[in-house]
Amino acid sequence: MGDIVSLIGKRLGYGLITLLVISVIIFFMVEMLPGDAAEAILQMGATEENLAALREEMGLDRPAIIRYFDWLAGAVVGDFGVSITSGEPVSAIIGERFVNTLFLAAYAAVIAVPFAVILGIVVALLRNTLFDRVANVLTLTSISSPEFFLGYVLILLLAVRTDMFPSLASLSADMSFGELLHRTFLPALTLVLVVTAHMMRMTRAAIINLLSSPYIEMARLKGTPPLKVIVRHALPNAWAPIINVIALNLAYLITGVVLVEVVFVYPGIGQTLVDAVSKQNFPVVQACCLIFAATFILLNLAADVGAILTNPRLRHPK
């Protein structure tokens, strides 16, 4: 037990160090973006006196390294500053949008994870058959297609030609849960098509790799049905790589939704990031990027911990 806690502690330490390095990169890369936050606020009313006063009020007259530590100290407690365009707290702006993104990611994950694992088991059972070849071609096509292309294809087929689903995922506070699922189905389906292929192929590869093991051969010689061989004997030992790829794809569902949210005009944090970049709203850009980085690192840590707990060789490397 002590070895597991030590390994998990090391992973958490590495994750915090990585997040700190990324925060430095985010802050100073945003600092290097063209444009002046004070000029963006004042616009036509910008004069030398007004600009100087506003820069002093916003702290822009201080060295960048000092502003970075102030920003980092605020980010630790959830204070990302104030929006340049609206004057609202950044945390209030992105809070609801981040919840929307989490809902969309969860919606896609609930569909994609069981479907991908079951499909991976089926194609492992039917490997080298026509079904296996067709499934591999379709998944490779899905992997190779960019998200915005899949989104526009789904809009054409399911919104324009058949009018089954709305092309824009507009939300309102008074809609029912069923209507919410209906309006967000197309962006969720786009994410499902992207991530299912990776999880299915990893499940298939992990199971096929174990099918040549001696204990699998013994189970077959005893007359165990093929499905039971995979579910009872192969699948438990294949969980480590499967959990890894599931966690990585869940991270993608949250951090890779920018294009999908833009295509469907979904009010999530990805759409917020694009709007903030176009308006030079630098505090919102920094906050969105840091949240994306923290989420990705957290789910990668979850993948590492899952692999450690399901693989004895990682718990006892000696």
Query: Residues 123-176: pLDDT tens digits?
Result: 888 888 888 888 888 888 887 888 888 888 889 888 888 888 888 888 877 888
- The whole-number pLDDT of residue 2 equals 59
Query: Are 291 and 272 a contacting pair, CB within 8 Å?
Result: no
Helix ranges (H only) for 62-129 are 64-76, 90-125
Of 11-20, 131-140, 183-192, 304-313, give the lowest mean pLDDT range: 304-313
Mean pLDDT score, 107-115: 90
- Residue in the structure block whose two tokens are 């899905």: 142
pLDDT at 122 over 80: yes
Predicted TM-score (pTM) of this structure:
0.81
- The whole-number pLDDT of residue 302 equals 79
Mean pLDDT score, 63-76: 84
Choose between 155 and 299: higher pLDDT: 155
Query: Are 270 and 164 a contacting pair, CB within 8 Å?
Result: no
Select the CATH number that applies to the domain covering 97-280 from these four: 3.30.1360.120, 2.30.29.30, 1.10.3720.10, 3.30.930.10: 1.10.3720.10
pLDDT at 234 over 70: yes
Mean pLDDT score, 115-124: 86
Choose between 312 and 183: higher pLDDT: 183
Mean pLDDT score, 71-82: 84
- The whole-number pLDDT of residue 95 equals 85
pLDDT at 33 over 70: no
CB under 8 Å, gap of 24 or more: what pairs does 12-16 form? 12/301, 15/297, 15/298, 15/300, 15/301
- The whole-number pLDDT of residue 166 equals 86
pLDDT at 35 over 80: no
- The whole-number pLDDT of residue 36 equals 63
Backbone phi, psi, residue 77, to 5°: -100, 10
